[in-house]
Structure 1
Amino acid sequence: MTTFATHIVQVLEDFGCTKAFGVSGGYVFPLWHSLESSEIQVYHCRSEGGATFSAMEHSLHTDTPAAVFVTSGPGLTNALTALRSARADGAKVILLSAITTETEQDPTQMQETSPSFVKAVTGESPQLPFSRSFVMRNHHDFKKLRNELETLCSGKSNTLGVFLSQKTQLSSITVDKNLCQNRIVSSPSDPNLPHWIQMIRSKLQQRKFVIWAGYGAKRSANHLLELAEAYETPVMTTPRAKGVFPEAHPLSWGCTGIGGNIEGDVQDAGSDWGVIVLGSRLEDMSSSLIQLGWNEREIIAVTNEPQRIKRNLPSNALIIETDIVALLSGLAGAVNAPKLPKFSLKPYSVLREKASSDGIHPVSVMSAVQKIAVDKHGYSVIADIGNTLCWTTRYLKFNIPGVFRVSTHDATMTHAACGAVGIGSNNTPVIAIVGDGAMIMQNEVSTAVQHQLPIIWLVMNDSRYNMCEQGFNIDGAKVPDCSIPLVDFAKYGAALGARGLSVEVDEDIDEALHRAISWKSPTVIDVRIDGRIPAPLGSRLKALPS
């Protein structure tokens, strides 16, 4: 017998969903059981938020849809913060949950969730967790499910919520085979694309523009490199786009935003230099909003989200709504010169800084990560929010796209501490660089242990919420207590079933990384850093109220 629950899972398989992350519960038991009985690999996580961050990172890492299953009430609400981040970052996430009652006039159910609540958390606003959602009640809704999944997989929406009562989950269904054929959805081509290609090509030929690349340009990294070299155009990136253009390239101006390290500062380039923005919304943490002062500079922004970038640009900017992949492909095809590399990547290493009696210098930690994890062993890196993001953005460099991950829209703590499971679930070795505050708040170490994933958690342990303490410790202001009692994260990791290593002196960092990498299993490295050293927050503080 085919039930609603089993057929939903079959439809997910049809659309390329291979992994599901979640936490079980009574109201979602039939869906959970059907997932476990399918070809989809199920990761039963320790928190709904952690499961959703994991699904988000798996989706972004593989460019495939990922499922999340949570029960109604608190199971659902626990996932909403991570869903908002997943939506903002463009992950293709399908959340499966339950309604307990059709109307709020019915007798109150435990963990109550009604269609009106689902509607309230769905809409066009990026501040809502769901792009689209609906409640399934009968077999006709499977056509809608397929249509919504086609929209999701085409990139026209991100987070999809699918809700149905436990009774409906268990109801039998006769499958209409006419509905089992997936359509191929293609985005309509932009009739103005040839004009935009010619216009931007003429701008690049002037040799007086800098390209500002965002995460939306990730799929066109090769073409971006061809264009930059052909027109000798400098490129700077947002934190999420690190590696979309090789950071060791002579034409790289570095990274903007929080922790930014722009070597060829566009601020000093003069107003006759223009800027071409590719695939970024230029939000606060990606840009520090430096562009709002460029009223005399020519700005061209290419995006598929014109309304979301418009608010972050001065009125003189030209916003072009078109497909970046098609645009850059056309621009690269119009290059007449031989497409041979003109430049060699520059050698790069992070020089260590002297440790103190209060701990290891954070720059020395970055030095070891760059040398051993990134350059020697090709590890992916995912960084949590806080000072760890500042240190990684400023000092780590990447020459290929997709190996550095950070989520800056909501800047949600624990994103990396949990999301590393989504990357590691593909047998991709990854190092999560997290703060002690994030690691205590939430993590999925136990889930990684259950599946023996190749993940290293490197905890920058300074026993405090240090971004808050440093960020507001200005002009002698008295900052409220930001301290955290010292946690031995090596023992904490071991208590969760992982391997644990402690690093208290600079000389032990390399050995700890080598050992953790050789194990290829979940490992927590507790690094005692000197919390007095100011993190490179850059212009982030200027955006905060005094």
Structure 2
Amino acid sequence: MHVKYQDTQANTTEQLNSTGQQSHSKLSRPSSVAETVVKMLGDMGVEYAFGVSGGAIAPVWAALHQSSIQVLHFRHEAGAAFAAIEAYFASDRPVVVFTTTGPGITNALTGLLAARWEGAKVIFVSASTSSPQRGRWACQETSTYTMPSAGLFTSGTIFHYATTLESSDELSEVARRIALGLGQPGGFVAHISIPANIQTTSVNTSLPRVTLSQSMGTASEETIAKCVRLLSEGPFAIWVGFGARGAAKEIRQLAERTGAAVMCSPRAKGIFPEDHPQFVGVTGFGGHDSVFRYMREQVPRHILVLGTRLGEFTSFWNPEMIPKQSFLHVDIDPKVPGSAYPSVETLAIHSDVRLFVKAVLKYFPESLSLSTALSLPRPIHNVVHPCTSNLVLPNILMNGIQQVIVEGSDALVLAEGGNSFAWAINFLQFAKPGRFRASTGFSAMGHTCTGIVGAALARRGKAVAIVGDGAMLMNNEVNTAVAYQIPAVWIVLNDGRYNMCEQGMTYVGFKDVDATIPQVDFVKIAQGMGADGIRVETEYEIQTALEKAIAATDPFVVDVIIDPTQIAPTHNRNQSLISQGATNY
């Protein structure tokens, strides 16, 4: 990538003011560090800032309100960070998270770690204690006396770039480093911590303006030719990951020209149409048995892996997912290829996925014969007939969500960690990219319950969260959605327990554990926070409730009382735990 600088004047002249017959002009006061940082972030494309206020961050918070950036004040810092992640993916623009000192920073860490895992571009702006007060037990003191510096305030495994801004003279370098990070392919999570007294310091020098210009890496012609030769040796499969979301059109063309079977990671649902005859299923957590049927009956010589780490929730490192000869693994991160299956022959290709597939397409001009595609196994979506029970079966609920929300609207669908996204991954089908989101890496509870607010805001339209009752109680931002009139919908799978934990414990051989939750009425909670909602207690009420939710213009909660005895499709996860020793057998 290239970074260009343009000199801009930090000091500006006020427009002429008129009072009656008199007019005069005067120089405006110098910009503060807080104002300069906020302007810098706005110039880099930031449109939204999510956070929680506090005394030490007051100057930055005020500067955000006076800028073009839309500020959303949340109820918890982790929720703000989760919302920032989903706003990034909905808008493809960097997002700011702001917090005060001490617990403001530590509360946000779960969401910021999720941002790193998810590959989002998030700039975290926090406050730190002014130097004269450090070591004196200042309120919520944030310094080396009270908090570890390494990792929180330095670049490393949490932040790609982190620094404490101790002087306005450091602003140019901070701007350069952030611009470099935002311009690089993939995610970038940065932390700028600014002492309270530095935030109000005047900036009297000009700050370079940064124009982002991104250069995408691609493989050499020699590497492309080698890949084409290997893929031409016989039938191969394409394993699509979330990192390939910008190459949906090209991947479909490659599949149809070559007859390749296509499977996807849980996060990549919809990048390749799930109703396509060449789609054999979702792999990993909540995935489909049809993938294993394909790998057992038609094991490919090579698998072309596009934009996925092949981590536990995508592959469970299952040996049945190994091709006869090798993986051809394409990723923008050179550390990814070969990491999941280190003993398997892997051709590592460091490239942008779309550019790679476009280059390979030149060598495959012919179209697929339909008979090849029809020989591939397909996912089976079991839909049982409605029962007479007063409890809703989760797969019947998913069928209703498929008809009313996935097929009947253009809403974005997010699924929360736990049984919620197991049911959603397995049963919902998407024909277009960009309609489904789930965090299957860091998998923090509360991610979707709060992230839905950022997603609906940034896409400027309806977004639906499928969540569990445990996650909804842990962290939600319904009240924040009410404050900003954001059309988010929560569908709560209310079974009165942490059911993934309960079912998982039984599976791995531990009994008599308590994972129950006193039954909650989420409609009453929603109404108490200013939202609307409806409770669903039988399967016959599902369609009407979902139609009402999707038509609502304000935040809406659908509280569904589901049958807790239904086993979610999580057996692969449980088998993985057993293989790792987490068992009583």
Q: Which TM-score band applies after superposition, normalised by the shorter structure?
A: over 0.9
Residues 100 and 114, structure 1, Cα contact 8 Å, conserved in 2: yes
Residue equivalent to 1:414:
446
Q: CA deviation at 1:312?
A: 1.0
Pair 1:298 & 2:329 matched: no
Pair 1:174 & 2:204 matched: yes
Matches within 5 A, 1:522-541: 522-541=555-574
Which range is displaced more, 239-248 or 476-485?
A: 476-485
Which of 301, 310, 320 aligns to 1:282? It is: 310
Residue equivalent to 2:12:
none
Q: Deviations over 1:48-70 (max 9, x none)?
A: 00000000110111111000010
Q: CA deviation at 1:99?
A: 1.3
Matches within 5 A, 1:96-495: 96-102=125-131, 106-114=135-143, 117-121=148-152, 128-155=157-184, 158-176=188-206, 179-187=208-216, 189-190=217-218, 192-265=219-292, 266-269=294-297, 273-291=301-319, 294=322, 296-318=324-346, 319-337=348-366, 351-355=383-387, 357=389, 359-426=391-458, 427-474=460-507, 477-495=510-528
Q: CA deviation at 1:321?
A: 2.0
Q: Distance in 2 between matches of 1:64 and 1:389?
A: 26
Gaps of 5+ in 1: none
Q: 1:534 to 1:58 in 2, by over 3 A?
A: same
TM-score, normalised on structure 1? 0.93
SS of structure 2 residue aligned to 1:161: strand
Q: Distance in 2 between matches of 1:139 and 1:246?
A: 51
SS of structure 2 residue aligned to 1:532: coil
Q: Distance in 1 between matches of 2:326 and 2:132?
A: 54
Q: CA deviation at 1:476?
A: 6.5
Which range is displaced more, 457-466 or 110-119?
A: 110-119
Q: Distance in 2 between matches of 1:218 and 1:293?
A: 22
Q: Distance in 1 between matches of 2:451 and 2:488?
A: 11
Q: 1:339 to 1:158 in 2, by over 3 A?
A: farther
TM-score, normalised on structure 2? 0.87
SS of structure 2 residue aligned to 1:180: strand
Q: Distance in 1 between matches of 2:325 and 2:363?
A: 26
Q: CA deviation at 1:272?
A: 5.2
Q: Distance in 1 between matches of 2:321 and 2:560?
A: 40
Q: 1:411 to 1:503 in 2, by over 3 A?
A: same
Q: 1:325 to 1:291 in 2, by over 3 A?
A: farther
Amino acid in structure 2 at the alignment position of 1:184:
S
Residues 64 and 153, structure 1, Cα contact 8 Å, conserved in 2: no
Residue equivalent to 1:543:
576
Residue equivalent to 1:499:
532
Q: CA deviation at 1:41?
A: 0.5
Q: 1:408 to 1:118 in 2, by over 3 A?
A: farther
Matches within 5 A, 1:45-124: 45-102=74-131, 106-114=135-143, 117-121=148-152
Residue equivalent to 1:36:
65
Residues 179 and 210, structure 2, Cα contact 8 Å, conserved in 1: no
- How many correspondences in the alignment? 540
Residues 502 and 527, structure 1, Cα contact 8 Å, conserved in 2: yes
Which range is displaced more, 24-33 or 470-479?
A: 470-479
Q: Deviations over 1:397-424 (max 9, x none)?
A: 1111121001111111011000001111
Q: 1:341 to 1:60 in 2, by over 3 A?
A: farther
Q: CA deviation at 1:46?
A: 0.7
Q: Deviations over 1:21-72 (max 9, x none)?
A: 0000011011011101111001101100000000011011111100001011
Q: Distance in 2 between matches of 1:51 and 1:307?
A: 30
Rg (Cα) greater in structure: 2
Which range is displaced more, 388-397 or 315-324?
A: 315-324
C-alpha RMSD of the superposition = 2.5
Q: CA deviation at 1:357?
A: 3.0
Q: Deviations over 1:283-320 (max 9, x none)?
A: 11121221487385422211122324533113233122
Q: Distance in 2 between matches of 1:68 and 1:366?
A: 33
Residues 256 and 288, structure 1, Cα contact 8 Å, conserved in 2: no
Pair 1:24 & 2:53 matched: yes
Q: Deviations over 1:155-208 (max 9, x none)?
A: 35511001111110011112415x124253434x45x52122222222333342
Residues 122 and 129, structure 1, Cα contact 8 Å, conserved in 2: no
Q: Distance in 2 between matches of 1:338 and 1:267?
A: 24
Q: Distance in 2 between matches of 1:459 and 1:377?
A: 19
Which range is displaced more, 36-45 or 198-207?
A: 198-207
SS of structure 1 residue aligned to 2:192: strand
SS of structure 2 residue aligned to 1:76: helix
Judging by fraction of residues, say which structure has more strand.
2
Q: CA deviation at 1:222?
A: 0.5
Q: Distance in 2 between matches of 1:93 and 1:292?
A: 37
Amino acid in structure 1 at the alignment position of 2:539:
D
Q: Distance in 2 between matches of 1:475 and 1:332?
A: 46
SS of structure 1 residue aligned to 2:506: coil
SS of structure 2 residue aligned to 1:257: coil
Q: Distance in 1 between matches of 2:381 and 2:506?
A: 31
Q: Distance in 2 between matches of 1:17 and 1:340?
A: 47
Q: 1:300 to 1:103 in 2, by over 3 A?
A: farther
SS of structure 1 residue aligned to 2:202: coil
Amino acid in structure 2 at the alignment position of 1:442:
N
Q: Distance in 2 between matches of 1:414 and 1:222?
A: 33
Amino acid in structure 2 at the alignment position of 1:399:
A
Q: Distance in 1 between matches of 2:381 and 2:339?
A: 38
Q: Distance in 2 between matches of 1:320 and 1:167?
A: 48
Amino acid in structure 1 at the alignment position of 2:188:
N
Which range is displaced more, 100-109 or 410-419?
A: 100-109
Gaps of 5+ in 2: 1-28
